A and B are shown apart, each in its own frame.
Chain A
Amino acid sequence: DTGVSQDPRHKITKRGQNVTFRCDPISEHNRLYWYRQTLGQGPEFLTYFQNEAQLEKSRLLSDRFSAERPKGSFSTLEIQRTEQGDSAMYLCASSRTGLGLEQYFGPGTRLTVT
C-alpha cells in the first residue's frame, strides 16, 4: 500500500510565473485535500475533492488558485501569477469516504517564489 505522493518536491519560481503541482492519493481513498503550511504555522485547509467533485473551498483559495481532479484519481493545484506570499509548503492528503476520517499526508511540495 503506497502512500500519498506529490510532485515536484521543490519548486523555485519567479514572481508572476504560473506553477502546477500534482498529488496522487492512496489508491483506495476517494477524498483528496489540499493544505498550505508556512513556517511556524499548522497546515491551513484550501480545498477538497470527493472523487472528481470539488466539494469545499476555503476563503484562502484566491482566484489565482485552481484545483482539479478530472478522473477522480490524481489532482493538480495551479497557482497563477505567483506572488512572494505564495511561498509555502503545499500539502496533499487523502482519506476514505466519510466525514471526519483520518487524513494521510504526502511529502509536500515546497514552493519558493523569488
Chain B
Amino acid sequence: QKEVEQNSGPLSVPEGAIASLNCTYSDRGSQSFFWYRQYSGKSPELIMFIYSNGDKEDGRFTAQLNKASQYVSLLIRDSQPSDSATYLCAAHSGGGADGLTFGKGTHLIIQP
C-alpha cells in the first residue's frame, strides 16, 4: 500500500516568516515528488517538483528531498497571506504505474 503522510494542520505562520511543510512516503520505489497548492474550492496547482536528493529552489519556494529517510519538505520564505492554502504532497512510483499518490494535505495559514 503506497502512502503519503502529511500533518493536516492547521499550521499557522506569521507573515514574512518561513513556512515549513513536511511529507513522508512509504514506497521506497518512489522516484519523483510534487507539491501542489490548493485554495478552497479550487483545483490543485503545481508549485514545485523534485526528482533528486537535495534542495531545489524556485523563487520563494525550496523543495527538499531525502530518499534515504523517505522525506520531502517544502519551505516558503517571506510568507504572504496569499500563501494561505492547503499544500498537497504527491509521490510518483516507477514500475509502469503513472498515477500520483497524494497526501491529505497541510492547511497553512499565514497571519498578517
Contacts and interface: CB of A to CB of B under 8 A. Distances in A.
Are the chains A and B members of one assembly?
yes
Nearest to B107: A40
A41 interface: yes
A85 interface: no
B46 interface: yes
A100 to B, nearest CB: 4
A45 B99 contact: yes
Interface in A35-63: 35, 40-48, 55-56, 58
Given A42-B102, A48-B98, A102 B49 contact: yes
Contacts of B36: 105
Contacts of A104: 46
B45 interface: yes
Contacts, number: 66
Chain A interface residue number, banded: 20 to 34
A81 B103 CA distance: 29
Nearest to A48: B98
Interface stretch (B11-19, B53-61, B71-79, B88-96): B88-96
Interface in B50-70: 51
A107 interface: yes
Given A41-B104, A99-B92, A103-B34, A33 B99 contact: yes
A103 B46 CA distance: 8
A105 B105 contact: no
Interface of B: 4, 8, 31-32, 34, 36, 42-46, 49, 51, 88, 90, 92, 94, 96-105
